[in-house]
């Protein structure tokens, strides 16, 4: 190559040896961050732009000037724009300069540069912002996220890659929704689905609620409901809005002790008052909880829990306290305005689940699972949970009956007809276990012996192992023993009946 007297260079490309390309060096740019002085050139023949470093720094032909023949400037042949750099490095270099839009990000505004063309190509929101009838011309103020999060967001818009962590995924999901960047939203949702824990579930639930992420909302809501004891004790509970809190407390099958539910509601209300910088008092807590207070099942609490954890807070009015106490003492039929019926709880009998049981049984054979038990309080039985088949899909006919101890003598001869029985068909899809809900609750009297019998036509099943003979939950003591029924494949130590679904009367 050579430098002409007009400040131009001639270059010959191998693929176009017969063509001469004129390079005009029209700009001199200083990049302090990189410690560089560069010359920007444009090839008149193909329109391609180049960035080059001058070999002798001070002597550069200014735009429109003429070069001296005696003081030619030798310019390195290597291009510094993209030689040896990855896409990510190129983007990072590009964000340092040559930007045509500036964002002022964070509460203490930090300047972050970008290129409008790239932004409007990836986001319809940016397209309307920069190309609409009311296009933004000056710096854009972003106050709802901090600089480090916004830079990660910009890098995704350039290279379509993002490094998600538990610390940044919520903010990046928010930016993805705000600027309508669907690929980023999907990556965030997949990350959140895979990392649901007791410490993050409430935060994720509220995030899904705010942005109408229905699948994520359903998944996280079910996770919180099943793991309520841990989730409601987590600080992330404070991220929930009142609507989500009320929906959780209103669940009949929320897996939580009622004392824990009350403590969680109290903690949520106090955190909300602190955020509003209001006094934490019984009156303000009642006001903050609103309708959520009446979704707590105070009548199902023990007297000890009421006296030690509820009454000292003075959250209940005198009339409400009287209604609950008198209902507990059987002095009134209802505890209105509170629900008298306790939540459905799952009493799990087994410590482990084995993969396969009864391999030798034909797929269309009928089998019987039965277990005998007693409880030390009056309860309502809402159903049972049965270990299911290992096939990918199957329809199983199931017959469920509850036998009182007075019927035990008949069990050896034939299955008696008993008021508490029903039959249903289950559609199984390779699940490990399935709930069988009774059409209406069955009464269980304290210290009376009952036998739960399940008969089914089902192929090879999962089964529980290391069963427990005595289980205590919600201050209720359950005792199990083997049922004396012919062809019974369930015992105290193993079998098909996974748990009991019950509520305290």
Query: How confident is the model over 464-498, as pLDDT tens digits?
Result: 888 889 988 878 899 999 988 878 888 888 888 88
Q: How far apart are CA 385 and CA 434, in angstroms?
A: 6
The arrangement of secondary structure in 346-504, i.e. its CATH architecture, is Sandwich (2.60)
In tens, the pLDDT along 295-307 reads 999 988 888 889 8
Residue 275 CB partners (closer than 8 Å, separation 6+)? none
In tens, the pLDDT along 339-390 reads 877 788 877 777 665 544 444 444 556 778 899 999 988 888 888 888 876 5
CATH 1.25.40 in the chain: give the residue spans: 200-330
CA distances from 280 to 245, 268, 283, 286 (A): 19, 12, 8, 10
Q: How far apart are CA 249 and CA 82, in angstroms?
A: 58
Q: Rounded mean pLDDT of the chain? A: 77
Residue 286: pLDDT above 90? Answer: yes
Q: How far apart are CA 138 and CA 488, in angstroms?
A: 79
CATH 2.60.120.820 in the chain: give the residue spans: 346-504
Q: What is the pLDDT of residue 243?
A: 94
Q: What is the pLDDT of residue 88?
A: 54
- What's the topology of domain 200-330? 1.25.40
Backbone angles phi, psi at 94, to 5 degrees: -65, -30
Domain 74-194 indexed as CATH 3.30.300.20: no
Give the position of tokens 């106050």. 143
List the single range of 53-67, 419-433, 460-474 with lowest mean pLDDT: 53-67
pLDDT, greater one: 134 or 3 = 134
- Please give the structure tokens belonging to residue 363: 């797929």
């Amino acid at each position: 190559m050579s430098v002409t007297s007009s400040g131009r260079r001639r270059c010959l490309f191998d693929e176009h040896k017969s063509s001469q390309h004129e390079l005009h060096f029209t700009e001199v740019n200083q990049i302090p961050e990189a410690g560089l002085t560069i010359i920007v050139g444009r090839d008149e023949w193909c329109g391609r732009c180049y960035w080059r470093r001058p070999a002798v720094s001070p002597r550069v032909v200014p735009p429109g000037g003429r070069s001296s023949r005696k003081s030619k400037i030798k310019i390195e042949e290597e291009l510094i724009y993209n030689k040896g750099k990855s896409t990510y490095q190129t983007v990072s270099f590009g964000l340092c300069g040559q930007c045509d839009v500036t964002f002022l990000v964070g509460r203490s505004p930090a300047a972050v540069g970008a290129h409008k063309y790239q932004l409007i190509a990836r986001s319809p929101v940016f397209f309307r912002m920069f190309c609409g009838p009311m296009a933004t011309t000056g710096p854009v103020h972003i106050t709802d996220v901090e600089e480090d999060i916004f830079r990660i967001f910009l890098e995704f818009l350039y290279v379509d890659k993002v490094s998600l962590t538990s610390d940044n995924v919520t903010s990046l999901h928010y930016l993805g929704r705000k600027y309508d960047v669907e690929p980023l939203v999907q990556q965030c949702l997949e990350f959140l689905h895979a990392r649901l824990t007791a410490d993050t579930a409430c935060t994720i639930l509220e995030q899904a609620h705010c942005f109408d992420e229905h699948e994520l909302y359903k998944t996280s809501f079910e996770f919180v409901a099943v793991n309520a004891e841990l989730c409601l004790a987590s600080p992330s509970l404070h991220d929930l809005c009142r609507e989500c809190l009320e929906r959780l407390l209103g669940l009949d099958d929320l897996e939580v002790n009622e004392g824990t539910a009350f403590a969680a509601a109290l903690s949520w209300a106090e955190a909300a008052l602190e955020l509003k910088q209001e006094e934490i008092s019984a009156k303000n807590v009642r006001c903050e909880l609103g309708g959520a207070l009446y979704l707590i099942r105070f009548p199902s609490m023990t007297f000890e829990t009421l006296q030690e954890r509820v009454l000292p807070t003075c959250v209940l009015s005198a009339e409400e306290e009287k209604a609950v106490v008198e209902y507990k003492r059987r002095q009134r039929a209802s505890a209105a305005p509170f629900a008298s019926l306790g939540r459905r709880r799952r009493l799990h009998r087994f410590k482990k689940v084995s993969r396969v049981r009864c391999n030798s049984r034909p797929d269309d054979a009928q089998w019987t699972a039965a277990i005998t038990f007693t409880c030390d309080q009056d309860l309502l039985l809402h159903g049972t949970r049965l270990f299911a088949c290992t096939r990918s899909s199957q329809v199983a006919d199931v017959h469920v009956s509850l036998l009182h101890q007075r019927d035990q003598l008949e069990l050896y001869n034939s299955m008696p007809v008993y008021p508490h029985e029903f039959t249903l068909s289950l559609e199984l899809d390779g699940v490990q276990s399935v709930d069988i809900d009774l059409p209406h609750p069955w009464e269980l009297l304290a210290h009376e012996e009952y036998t739960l019998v399940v008969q089914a036509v089902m192929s090879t099943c999962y089964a529980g192992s290391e069963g427990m003979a005595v289980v205590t939950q919600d201050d209720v003591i359950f005792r199990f023993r083997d049922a004396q029924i012919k062809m019974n494949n369930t015992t105290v130590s193993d079998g098909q009946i996974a748990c009991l679904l019950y509520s305290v009367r």
